[in-house]
Structure 1
Amino acid sequence: MMSFFATSGHRKCLKALFIVLTLLVSQSEKSWADTATADVSGFCYSNQPAEIRRCGEAADAGSATAQIVMGQRYRDGSGVPQNLFLAKNYLSQAAEQSEAAILILAGVLLGSEYAEVNDFGAGLEWLTRLSNSNYEPYQRYAASWLGNIHYWGWYGVERDTSVAAHWIKLGAELGDPESLELLGNLYLSGDEVPQNYALARETWRRAAELGSDHAAYSLGLSFENDRHGDRDFNAAMYWMVIAAKNNYGMAQFMLGQWYERGIGMPQNHETAHMWYNIAAAGSNAELFRSMRDGLASSMTNAQIARAQARASSCMASDFEHSDCQIPDVSLQ
């Protein structure tokens, strides 16, 4: 199970990082060191071929803003033929002037499918440098990424919880939800921090409130089990539903498990099948389909048809349709 979470968390971290990059870049544009021209945004953000060429000339003349834009264009093949080598070159130049470029460069160095472009060591060095930024969002994203890399052992880096804990604690102090989630894991296991189940839950709660679906899922599981004699299925359902509504596949799968087995609620194979269907529409579909199909062997064709229809209605309504039959639970 650890390998699944590491893989899905890896994809999630990369996706979230790339989503915020454009926002971070646009918000910090005025702080970029731009040595060649005072303002290139008027033509660098145009999709006209002549303006793209003009932006390339500004990048070659040393404009950090233009180098970032051209690096992204060559990375994505936007207005120019995709060329990750040129993307890496432009972004490497920009990173010497602009912290905004470091995040994008790290994505190319660590996430490229091409061995000739990948440079994990340089990627880690750039992220470590960025962790000392005076701009808190950059510091937070760098700490989060470094914590995940060393905690899960991404990119061929040997898993090291002692190194990971340093970055996880920094990210948690800065309010990063993924770092808080991992800090909760450390409290649960007792790695590098004193084992404390109550602190694990509290840290997961903070992460969940900041948007971490995996933390909400972990909270749901912690309240469902009876490890410390404090089982609270109302709280378990509350947090699991939050993650499930955000399309976190493992939470949807777990709701299916609870309904199939009658854990904390009356057994209901049709509703269990519905949740397995919803989970199978996302990632890790093979596992979820196998659970759904195994359950289907004990159901009638009419029950299966209703479960499938309910799953469709539930997903189409963003989990608001009455077919979802989501329990109305709240924290006491």
Structure 2
Amino acid sequence: MPPLMTLSGVFTLRILAVAALIAALLVALQAGAAPRELSTELKQADKALAAHEYALAYKAYARVAARNPLAQFNLGLIEREGWGRARNPAAACAWFGKAAQGNIPAAHQFFGDCLADGIGQAADGKAAEAWYRKAAQAGIVYALCSAGQMYIRGQVVGKDVEHGLGLCAQAAQAGSAPAMLRIADYYKDGTEVPQNLAAARYWYQQAAENRDHLAQYRLGVMLGQGEGGDANPALALSWLEHAAAEGYAPAYLPVAILYANSAPDPATGALTPASLAKIYMWNSAARATTNNAATLAEIKRIAQLVNQVMPAEWKPALDRRVAEHLGRFSAN
């Protein structure tokens, strides 16, 4: 079976979703950043929010917001994300400011964003940095990257790329995988800092080793294409399959392609049965998780080629494995 395609043109870079950042900040908050009594009276409101009963949740949080900064923070999230209502960034920032004054660490981070961007009040870089540093001191070390971004862009503070990278590096060195990913993106993109592909590859690996799926994906891309160092298809496949195995859908098709381009069995000159099965399964998973017409056309072409050489009796068992994998991650 000949190689199906090269790696170039099939990878797309994805930015970290806002929801993922919110989840990371809430983990820090729930780990002890807020007194237990603040959350005790919010159980019903939290239950309504989890059930997407946003109007009910908003009313329940608002009833206790005057005395509960955690309720203020959650009201800010509802306003910011537009859950059950139109997005209102200014109202969100007003709530985040109150929650920050009430010593909610996640609010320190978000209120810093408000001040950096001038949402609902005049932009104030010094105040934003102070809140970012307070968030970092409370355990949300990624906030240092947000402070660093202001310096890298020269946003409401004097432009100082080296200082900005240094702030983000502090967060990365403290173990923040999102900070590692952020530095890697800066070096990879080469738009806001001088491009350094070797440094990008290094930082993607640090984040990948901390189980950041996007970093595993991007590291796999660089290894496969020989960016920032020698190409290493075997290691590229390893990292991409790590991400795919944990439900990171953009990695499905690249994994199928790398298996298709793997070394044939020396005894037969054909792909091994294991490789054929992997191509079929990851290609099937990719088909189930994309609506992109060009990607679907490529998936169809791969399926046609695999079907020419793979025994049809394999399909039921392989299809069950694909369904089981997708079922584990369908809620993500």
TM range (shorter): 0.5 to 0.7
Deviations 1:211-245 (A, max 9, x none): 12232233334444457885544433322221221
C-alpha change, 1:304 and 1:286, in structure 2 (3 Å) is farther
Match of 1:168 in 2: 168
CA distance in 2, matches of 1:161, 1:307: 55
1:280 matched to 2:258? The reply is no
Asked whether the 8 Å contact 2:10–2:254 carries over to 1, the reply is no
- Displacement of 1:107 in angstroms is 8.2
Match of 1:21 in 2: 25
* TM-score (norm. length: structure 1): 0.63
For 1:94, which of 75, 96, 99 is the aligned residue? 99
> 1:57-96 residue pairs with structure 2 within 5 A?
58-60=64-66, 63-72=68-77, 82=85, 84-85=87-88, 87-96=92-101
1:213 matched to 2:213? The reply is yes
CA distance in 2, matches of 1:163, 1:121: 24
Match of 1:30 in 2: 35
CA distance in 2, matches of 1:51, 1:249: 32
Match of 1:244 in 2: 244
- Displacement of 1:87 in angstroms is 4.6
> 1:146-295 residue pairs with structure 2 within 5 A?
165-184=165-184, 192=193, 195=196, 197=198, 200-225=200-225, 230-260=230-260, 262-265=261-264, 267=271, 271-282=278-289, 285-295=292-302
C-alpha change, 1:87 and 1:316, in structure 2 (3 Å) is same
User: What is the Cα-based RMSD across aligned positions, in Å?
Assistant: 5.0
CA distance in 1, matches of 2:257, 2:211: 24
- Displacement of 1:108 in angstroms is 8.9
Q: Which runs of 5+ in 2 are unaligned?
A: 1-8, 49-54, 154-159, 265-269, 327-332
Moved more, 208-217 or 303-312: 303-312
Asked whether the 8 Å contact 1:280–1:289 carries over to 2, the reply is yes
- Displacement of 1:292 in angstroms is 0.6
- Displacement of 1:304 in angstroms is 9.9
- Displacement of 1:44 in angstroms is 3.7
> 1:295-314 residue pairs with structure 2 within 5 A?
295-298=302-305, 300=307, 309=316, 312-314=319-321
CA distance in 2, matches of 1:226, 1:215: 16
Deviations 1:4-29 (A, max 9, x none): 42xx2232xx1222213333333211
What is the number of residues matched between the two proteins? 291
Please tell me the residue identity of whatever aligns with 2:170: L
Q: Which runs of 5+ in 1 are unaligned?
A: 32-38, 111-116, 154-159, 320-332
Please tell me the residue identity of whatever aligns with 1:209: E
Task: Look up the SS of the partner of 2:134 in the other structure.
Answer: coil
C-alpha change, 1:20 and 1:259, in structure 2 (3 Å) is closer
Asked whether the 8 Å contact 1:144–1:179 carries over to 2, the reply is yes
Please tell me the residue identity of whatever aligns with 2:43: Y
- Displacement of 1:42 in angstroms is 4.2
CA distance in 2, matches of 1:120, 1:290: 49
1:9 matched to 2:15? The reply is yes
- Displacement of 1:263 in angstroms is 3.7
C-alpha change, 1:280 and 1:143, in structure 2 (3 Å) is farther
Please tell me the residue identity of whatever aligns with 1:143: L
Asked whether the 8 Å contact 2:93–2:120 carries over to 1, the reply is no
Larger RCO (CA under 8 A, 6+ residues apart): 2
* TM-score (norm. length: structure 2): 0.63
- Displacement of 1:141 in angstroms is 2.6
Report percent identity of matched pairs.
Answer: 18
Moved more, 268-277 or 305-314: 305-314
For 1:45, which of 21, 43, 46 is the aligned residue? 43
- Displacement of 1:196 in angstroms is 6.9
CA distance in 2, matches of 1:124, 1:175: 25
> 1:86-165 residue pairs with structure 2 within 5 A?
87-98=92-103, 99-103=105-109, 128-133=129-134, 135-136=136-137, 138-145=139-146, 165=165
Moved more, 187-196 or 128-137: 187-196
